[in-house]
Every structure is written in structure tokens, then in C-alpha cells.
């Protein structure tokens, strides 16, 4: 049996993007995140998988341990809503600081999504990506999943760039709860 998933960007989508977040006590989830992820996972059985560029590691601004600590903190905060992220995939590399082979995992490459699909037996045709940046939406398009741009984080700026380049997300959402409601309706066939 295959699974269906929602792939989630982290900074700017789930939590306030304070720039190279390395301190778990500074994690600030957007207000609607717990409710949205609980709906997706507990009511509709989506796997929740974070796919995140974390170039701060390559830049020497944060460590992998700090990224892992921030990810753990996100799950601690989400546990109050009886939900946790199933897996965190992140790319710690950047073209200015890493070799070309290493940076293949960076969004807009679909590599993290494709790896997760193998690891969790995910049917990408029944899966979605939610993010706030151009690279998030292009990553989802490259992985052949439906894409939702949230207007938190960089979302508003990203929307005009995507439109100018004719790379339209499947849906534009005010926030992650709006995105979750779209996913639930779309998955159940309301929009077909």
C-alpha cells in the first residue's frame, strides 16, 4: 500500500523565518500550524515531511546538531496538538561553499522529495508541497506534486516572481491552515 504526503518547507512556512535559525528556544510556529497539521495527519492520514534548504550549515553559521535541535523543538511544540512531523530532510549545502555534487539536494531540485518517496513508499501523484519560496514551488513542480504557495514568510514576493516566470503554483493560500483546507478538499475530489 502506498502513502500520500504533504511535503513542507520549514522556515517561513511552519515557523517564523528569523534567518539561519539555530536556537531551539527561538522557534516560533505560526499560530495555525498545529491545527493545520493535525487535520492533515490525524483526520486525513497524510504523512508530514519537511524538506528544507539549510545552507547556514555550509556557511558556518549553524551546525547540523543545531538544525536537528530546531527540528526536535518543532515536534515538541506540535505534540501539544497531538501531531508530529514524520521526517525532516534538509540540504546543508550551498553552491558558494560546497562542491557541485553536494548541492544536488538543494531545492528547487526534487531530490529530497524523491528520497522521501522511496523511504516512505509515497505516491507522489497523491501528494502536495507547501512552501513560501520560489525554490519550494519549483521543487514541487520538479517532483510532479501539486504545489501550494503560502503567503507567510517570502510568499507574497515569491508569488510575483513565479507569475512573471509563468511557474504557477496549484493554489495560493493565505497561510498553512488555508493550504490544509485546500489539500483536504482537493484530495477528496471536491475540485475534480
Catalytic residue set: 9, 11
Taken in order 154, 128, 183, 86, the sign of the CA dihedral is: negative
3-class secondary structure, 6: strand
Dist. CA 24–CA 43, nearest whole Å? 28
DSSP state of 27: -
In what side-by-side order are the strands of the sheet with 128-131? 87-91, 47-53, 5-8, 128-131, 146-150, 171-173
Torsional class of 76: left (φ above 0), alpha (ψ -120 to 50), beta (otherwise): alpha
Amino acid at each position: 500500500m502506498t502513502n500520500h504526503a504533504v511535503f513542507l518547507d520549514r522556515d517561513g512556512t511552519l515557523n517564523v523565518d528569523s534567518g539561519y535559525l539555530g536556537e531551539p528556544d527561538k522557534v516560533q510556529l505560526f499560530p495555525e500550524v498545529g491545527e493545520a497539521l493535525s487535520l492533515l495527519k490525524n483526520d486525513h492520514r497524510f504523512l508530514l515531511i519537511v524538506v528544507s534548504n539549510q545552507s547556514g550549515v555550509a556557511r558556518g553559521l549553524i551546525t547540523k546538531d543545531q538544525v536537528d535541535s530546531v527540528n526536535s523543538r518543532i515536534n515538541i511544540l506540535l505534540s501539544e496538538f497531538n501531531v508530529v512531523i514524520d521526517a525532516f530532510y534538509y540540504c546543508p549545502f550551498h553552491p558558494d561553499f560546497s562542491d557541485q555534487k553536494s548541492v544536488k539536494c538543494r531545492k528547487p531540485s526534487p531530490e529530497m522529495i524523491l528520497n522521501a518517496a522511496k523511504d516512505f513508499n509515497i505516491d507522489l501523484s497523491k501528494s502536495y508541497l507547501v512552501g513560501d519560496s520560489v525554490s519550494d514551488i519549483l521543487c514541487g513542480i520538479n517532483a510532479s506534486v501539486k504545489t501550494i504557495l503560502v503567503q507567510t514568510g517570502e510568499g507574497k514576493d515569491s508569488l510575483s516572481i513565479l507569475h512573471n516566470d509563468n511557474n504557477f503554483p496549484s493554489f495560493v493560500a493565505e497561510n498553512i491552515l488555508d493550504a490544509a483546507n485546500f489539500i483536504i478538499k482537493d484530495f477528496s475530489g471536491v475540485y475534480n
